Amino acid sequence: MTGLLFVHAFPLDRRMWEPQLAAIPGAIAVDLPGFGEAPPPPGGAWTVALAARRCEAALEEAGWSRAVVCGLSMGGYVAFELWRRAPERLAGLVLANTRAEPDTPDARAARLALAERLDREGNVLAAEPPPLLSSAAPPELRERVRRLVADQSPAAIAAALRGMAERPDSRPDLPRIAVPTLVIASDRDELIPAETTARIAERVPGAELAVIQGAGHLSNLERPEAFTELLLAFVGRLGIDPGSLR
């Protein structure tokens, strides 16, 4: 049986996918280690490999032999790792608002410095969230995202920052990705510019690229109808009846 699995962004949890889960009730979303209702990583060490194993466990729990995996931002990093670990489990990939490159030295240093601040001061991102939305996002959506960030453990956020800082370079894997792939970017993304995400589509054989207009980093929340429409059309092109996922 083939399903649809959503993998969340940093520093949120599976609830960020509520608009898509409402439109596609047969899909599931996973909480990565330490986030939402998931237990913290063993010893506090978060890695993309550990997160990918959590996704594999979610597929097993759902009884799915294969799945279309949709990851946004950090979820995209995990989707790349899932491809490296278990390509036979993937029926397709949706890579949204993410990048294949590893951190630059400056970006890595900034992640590690923020992790240390979280260790000292608690969840500072609740009051100072990263630019996850565009400047045009409505206040109620900003508050919703702020609450999701505030719900997360500072230890989990810090662990994920350290894990992302050490994630592998996924660029060498792109030409070897052998499943249908949809790449989604958005024109107002301040964290990962659309042109950065678009480079994934240039290197994955046969990949489709879609750019959502008027959305920031969390494109699935800022333009949920557009995101869901792209996703359902992609799943339909794979020969999976979208109605079977509803």
Could you report the per-residue pLDDT of 207-243, keeping only the tens digit for each?
Answer: 999 999 999 999 999 999 999 999 999 998 888 765 6
Half-sphere exposure of 96 (CA within 13 A, CB side): 28
Query: What average pLDDT does this structure show over 184-200?
Result: 98
pLDDT of residue 245: 62
pLDDT of residue 49: 97
Query: What average pLDDT does this structure show over 37-61?
Result: 95
**Closest to 194 (Cα-Cα) out of 167, 212, 175:** 212
Does pLDDT of 246 surpass 70? no
Q: Per-domain residue ranges for the chain?
A: 2-245
Confidence tier at 22 by pLDDT (50, 70, 90)? very high
Using CA atoms, how far residue 178 sits from 20, 50, 219, 230, in Å, is 25, 23, 25, 20
Query: What average pLDDT does this structure show over 6-18?
Result: 98
Q: How far is CA 73 from the centre of its chain?
A: 4
Helix (H, G, I), strand (E, B) or coil at 191: coil
Helix (H) or strand (E) holding 186: strand 181-186
Does pLDDT of 198 surpass 90? yes
Give the residue ranges of DSSP H helices in 127-246.
Answer: 139-150, 154-165, 194-203, 219-222, 224-237
Phi, psi of 84 (to 5 degrees): -65, -40
Q: What is the CATH number of domain 2-245?
A: 3.40.50.1820
pLDDT of residue 43: 86
Half-sphere exposure of 5 (CA within 13 A, CB side): 33
Does pLDDT of 189 surpass 70? yes
User: What does the CA dihedral 192, 151, 70, 136 come to, rounded to 10 degrees?
Assistant: -50
Encoded tokens for 44? 């506090």
**End-to-end alpha-carbon separation of the chain, Å?**
14
Phi, psi of 95 (to 5 degrees): -115, 110
Encoded tokens for 55? 């996704």
